[in-house]
Amino acid sequence: MMADSGSSEEVAVIGNTDLTSTESENNIINTMVEKGTSLLRKMEINVAEAEKRTGKNTVNMQETYTVYLIETRPAETVPEGGTPAAPDTLWRRYSEFELLRTYLLVTYPYIIIPPLPEKRAEFVWHKLSADNLDPDFVERRRVGLENFLLRVASHSVLSNDEIFYRFLTEEKGWREMVLETGFQDKADSRLKSLSAMFRVKNPDKRFTALKHYSDELNTVISQLLRVRARVADRMYGVYKVHGNYGRVFSEWSAIEKEMGDGLQSAGHHMDTYAASIDDILEEEEHYADQLKEYLFYTDAVRSVCRKHELIQYELEMAAQDLAHKKQQKEELATGTVRVFSLKGMTSKLFGQESQEQRESRLAALEQSIQEGEEAVKEKNTECQEFVRTAWEDIERFKEQKDKDLREALISYAIMQISMCKKGIQVWSNAKECFNKIQKERTTDPRRRALSRASKAPWRRHWSDPTRKNAPAHRHTRPPDPPETSKPVNCPV
């Protein structure tokens, strides 16, 4: 059940899909490219920018929306000293991405279609706005859209789709092209089927297990994202309160002589500390986005399972229908009425029908049975094909998921490490500043006078004749200081 983009001379040009690539370890390309589809070998894809536009919408009202610039460029290596060729570009808005995705969902129901970044910001912590036009949100969405395109482009099946290719290369007229494929009808029926309630008699255990797993994953990632948002909120609070130290220390330093410098500089470090949380949390958003991608993937997995259920159900229905017909035929042939039927009743009441009538009925049934058998065979093939292709994609997805999420966890750890390093830096600096308090030499003249006049006896050089005896240890009294100065207080 390949794409309707059947016409494939052009598609064939894009080439065969070679799944294994021999990627040089020293190339820094994303792992999707490593897997290597011919599309990606042929072109680089970027979602480079985002821009605001205003225009009339479908109900003829002014609206502001964001468009994203898609850049494509032939992926040849650039010769030494040469500049890369200018990319082809076109603009797309989010709704067009949605259209593309719906098309793919309908056309490849056995494939786990990569998700789009969220339409509206969810799982936000308070500082992040939930506003779609907020620049940070737009930026993250840009990244998410690029990711989506790369995922599709690196998929062995999806990357060959013509509509997808045109999405990347033809700005005008793409929408009409998609609609012309007539996928909308399929979309409608698909929606209906997805929401339909039916029971499958012999569910495929693997798909059942997959559906459960997908639901579990959905639950746990949602929870994780919620907790993360709350933790982020709290962390933000802790860091920002430290900024108050900065302010107070600064004010305090103004009234202190000896402590002033130390307090002031420590205060600056507190300000730095407070400010550092913004970057930290922004980085964490990447991690949250990675989790969200897989959260949304669970929906795609679920719909593949659902589609399988539907096909299975249709197969069972067809088989059931066939069995029913066969039975009717048998009854008709043997004359026994096992199954109640109106015909049977009336013939009982009103007498047997004529031989001709029976034969014509038999013939009709025969025909119907044949058709039924065809239908069952078709459905069976469809089902088997679906299971085969779906399961292939599911295995691919599982591997991808394990790898990606593991990377995500690792990058989370790296983020934590970075955060700790910053913390160590700031507090070490602050400690140095605090250290300076009291150790500072001041220009206080009184202090200098004091230090001259009242040298404590054991500070005198051993050869000093006025020195009576050395202070041995803390339990003996120090000898008398000279008569002239008896300081009451300790040096300032």
Q: Does 48 bind other proteins (CB under 8 A)?
A: no
Supply the minimum distance, in Å, between the C-beta of residue 476 and other proteins.
Answer: 6
Q: Does 458 bind other proteins (CB under 8 A)?
A: yes
The H-or-E segment that residue 143 falls in is helix 135-153
Q: Does 466 bind other proteins (CB under 8 A)?
A: no
Find the part of the chain contacting other proteins (CB under 8 A) among 67-75, 232-240, 358-366, 385-393. 232-240
For residues 435-454, which are near other proteins according to CB under 8 A? 435, 437-439, 446, 449-451, 453-454
Apex CA 21: angle with CA 19 and CA 22, to 5°? Answer: 160
Using DSSP, state whether 49 is helix, strand or coil.
strand
Place of tokens 């970027």: 46
Supply the minimum distance, in Å, between the C-beta of residue 122 and other proteins.
Answer: 17
Find the part of the chain contacting other proteins (CB under 8 A) among 10-18, 297-305, 344-352, 418-426. 418-426
Which residues, in sequence order, are bridge partners of residue 97?
none
Show contacts of 189-193: CB within 8 Å, 24+ apart. 190/105, 190/106, 190/109, 190/307, 193/306, 193/307, 193/310
For residues 275-304, which are near other proteins according to CB under 8 A? 283, 286, 289-290
Find the part of the chain contacting other proteins (CB under 8 A) among 157-165, 327-335, 336-344, 409-417. 409-417
CB of 67 closer than 8 Å to CB of 53: yes
Strands lying side by side in the sheet with 88-93: 43-56, 62-74, 88-93
Q: Does 144 bind other proteins (CB under 8 A)?
A: yes
> How many chain residues interact with other proteins (CB under 8 A)?
111
Q: Does 191 bind other proteins (CB under 8 A)?
A: no
- Distance between start and end Cα atoms, the chain: 89
Q: Does 408 bind other proteins (CB under 8 A)?
A: yes
Q: Does 129 bind other proteins (CB under 8 A)?
A: no
Which residues, in sequence order, are bridge partners of residue 73?
44
> Residues in the chain, how many?
492
Supply the minimum distance, in Å, between the C-beta of residue 150 and other proteins.
Answer: 6
The pattern of x and - marking residues 302 through 341 that bind other proteins according to CB under 8 A reads: ----------------------------------------
CB of 110 closer than 8 Å to CB of 394: no
The pattern of x and - marking residues 242 through 271 that bind other proteins according to CB under 8 A reads: x-xx--xx-xx--x--xx--x---x-----
Closer by beta carbon to other proteins, 245 or else 386: 245
Select from 64, 237, 336, 384 the one that contacts other proteins (CB under 8 A). Answer: 237
Which residues, in sequence order, are bridge partners of residue 51?
67
Q: Does 84 bind other proteins (CB under 8 A)?
A: no
Select from 119, 324, 388, 406 the one that contacts other proteins (CB under 8 A). Answer: 406
Place of tokens 């009451």: 488
d(CA 374, CA 318) in angstroms, rounded, equals 10
Closer by beta carbon to other proteins, 61 or else 490: 490
Q: Does 202 bind other proteins (CB under 8 A)?
A: no
For residues 15-34, which are near other proteins according to CB under 8 A? 22-23, 25-32, 34
Select from 39, 150, 153, 288 the one that contacts other proteins (CB under 8 A). Answer: 150
Supply the minimum distance, in Å, between the C-beta of residue 424 and other proteins.
Answer: 4
Measure Cα distances from 237 to 59, 243, 277, 424 in Å: 44, 10, 9, 19
Closer by beta carbon to other proteins, 124 or else 322: 124
Closer by beta carbon to other proteins, 2 or else 456: 456
Strand segments, DSSP code E, in 87-153 are 88-93
The pattern of x and - marking residues 345 through 384 that bind other proteins according to CB under 8 A reads: ----------------------------------------
For residues 154-183, which are near other proteins according to CB under 8 A? none
Supply the minimum distance, in Å, between the C-beta of residue 132 and other proteins.
Answer: 19
Q: Any alpha helices (H) in 335-354, and if so which ranges?
A: 342-350
Closer by beta carbon to other proteins, 360 or else 416: 416
Apex CA 130: angle with CA 282 and CA 71, to 5°? Answer: 65
Select from 428, 442, 466, 469 the one that contacts other proteins (CB under 8 A). Answer: 428
DSSP code of 483? T
CB of 291 closer than 8 Å to CB of 408: yes
Select from 126, 338, 348, 431 the one that contacts other proteins (CB under 8 A). Answer: 431
Could you tell me which residues come within 8 angstroms of residue 143 by beta carbon, excluding any fewer than 6 positions away?
Answer: 47, 117, 289
Q: Does 471 bind other proteins (CB under 8 A)?
A: yes
Say how many C-beta atoms besides its own lie within 10 A of residue 8's C-beta.
Answer: 13
Select from 409, 464, 466, 470 the one that contacts other proteins (CB under 8 A). Answer: 409
Q: Does 470 bind other proteins (CB under 8 A)?
A: no
Supply the minimum distance, in Å, between the C-beta of residue 61 and other proteins.
Answer: 33
Show contacts of 302-306: CB within 8 Å, 24+ apart. 302/211, 302/214, 302/215, 302/218, 303/105, 303/109, 303/194, 304/109, 304/110, 304/111, 304/112, 304/390, 304/393, 304/394, 305/207, 305/208, 305/210, 305/211, 305/214, 306/193, 306/194, 306/211
